Structure 1
Amino acid sequence: MAYYIWIIINALLVISTIIYIWIFRLHDSQIITLGQVFAQIAIILFIINVNMYFIFLVIRRTKVRKFKITLAKMSRQMMKSHIKLAIIGTILILFHGGIMLVKLGELIGYVNPKIMSGMLAILLLAITLFAGYLRHKKSSGFRRKFHYTSAFLFTILFMVHLFLPI
């Protein structure tokens, strides 16, 4: 039952970001709109990757064996694309950040909270990628916790960044 709630939360998150970006954050500049497209795609990719943690959490906590097996099979398939999705999402975020820094930064100022939170989010993303690289090379309890803690901090900060007004 809890996984239905989690699916609904994810769907609402994606829908709310789409509404916020495409209805409340319209711009006259086509290049800024392209930056928004990059960000929207990256958000979806990062949400997919963050959900890996919750899938593993449900696998550990559920008592229903058949459900555990189904989730384990699904997680094996998802893990094959985890790194690829992270890399694609990072490239999109770097394009988004570059566009917004150059085009929007000159309009609203480089010390605007939106710009500053975006730069901090990219820094946290770099830490998350580094933690993921360490975990990929040699997995340990510390490296696993470091990776998912940095990933959650990044997720929280990019959500704050997303909904900050300009």
Structure 2
Amino acid sequence: MPHRLWIAVNSILIVLSVIYIWFFRQHDSSSVILAQFLAQIAMVLFLININMYFIFLVIRKTSVRQVKIRLAKFSRVMMKWHISIAVTGTTIIIGHAAINLFEIAPVIGFDNLKLISGYLAIIFLFLTLAAGYLRHKKSSGFRRKFHLTTATIFFLIFLVHMFIPI
């Protein structure tokens, strides 16, 4: 049952972001529209990666053997793509940030709350990538927790950034 709730929360988040970005944050500039599209793609990629934690959590917590086996097989496949998804999402989000720094920032100011939250999200994204790199090179309990903590903080800041109006 908790996995259905988690799927619903992810779906609702994606739908809300689509509605918010495409219906309430419309722009005339084609480059800003591209930046919005890039943000949407990166959000889905980051959600895929962040959801790996919850898959592992269900594997640890569930007592249903079939669920454990199915999720373990799925996670084995997904973990092969985890780093590629993270790097792709980061590349896409850098494009989003660059467009917005050139198009939006001069208009609203570089110290606007939306941009400040974006700066903070980028910092925690790079911290998450660094923590993931360290964990990939040599895994330890501390490195696992550090990677998970930075990813969670990044996700929360990213959610705040996404819904701050300009």
TM-score interval, normalised by the smaller of the two chains: over 0.9
Q: Secondary structure at the match of 1:154?
A: helix
Structure-2 separation of matches of 1:135 and 1:17: 31
- The residue that corresponds to 1:87 in the other structure is 87
- The residue that corresponds to 1:98 in the other structure is 98
Give me the TM-score of the superposition, normalised by structure 2. 0.99
Structure 2 residue runs of 5 or longer lacking an equivalent are: none
User: Which residue identity is paired with 2:95?
Assistant: F
Task: Tell me how far 1:134 sits from its aligned partner.
Answer: 0.2
Task: Tell me how far 1:19 sits from its aligned partner.
Answer: 0.6
Structure-2 separation of matches of 1:59 and 1:161: 31
Q: Does 1:15 align with 2:15?
A: yes
Structure-1 separation of matches of 2:17 and 2:40: 8
User: Which residue identity is paired with 1:27?
Assistant: H
Q: Secondary structure at the match of 1:84?
A: helix
Q: Secondary structure at the match of 1:63?
A: coil
- The residue that corresponds to 2:160 in the other structure is 160
- The residue that corresponds to 1:131 in the other structure is 131
- The residue that corresponds to 1:122 in the other structure is 122
Task: Tell me how far 1:102 sits from its aligned partner.
Answer: 1.1
**CA deviation digits over 1:102-128, x for unaligned, max 9?**
110011000000011101100110000
The count of aligned residue pairs is 166
Structure 1 residue runs of 5 or longer lacking an equivalent are: none
**CA deviation digits over 1:64-118, x for unaligned, max 9?**
0111000000000110110000000000000000110111001100000001110
User: Which residue identity is paired with 1:143?
Assistant: R
Structure-1 separation of matches of 2:91 and 2:122: 11
User: How much identity, in percent, do the aligned residues show?
Assistant: 57
Matches within 5 A, 1:5-84: 5-84=5-84
User: Which residue identity is paired with 1:82?
Assistant: H
- The residue that corresponds to 1:113 in the other structure is 113
Give me the TM-score of the superposition, normalised by structure 1. 0.99
User: Which residue identity is paired with 1:111?
Assistant: D
Structure-2 separation of matches of 1:2 and 1:146: 25
Structure-2 separation of matches of 1:153 and 1:116: 15
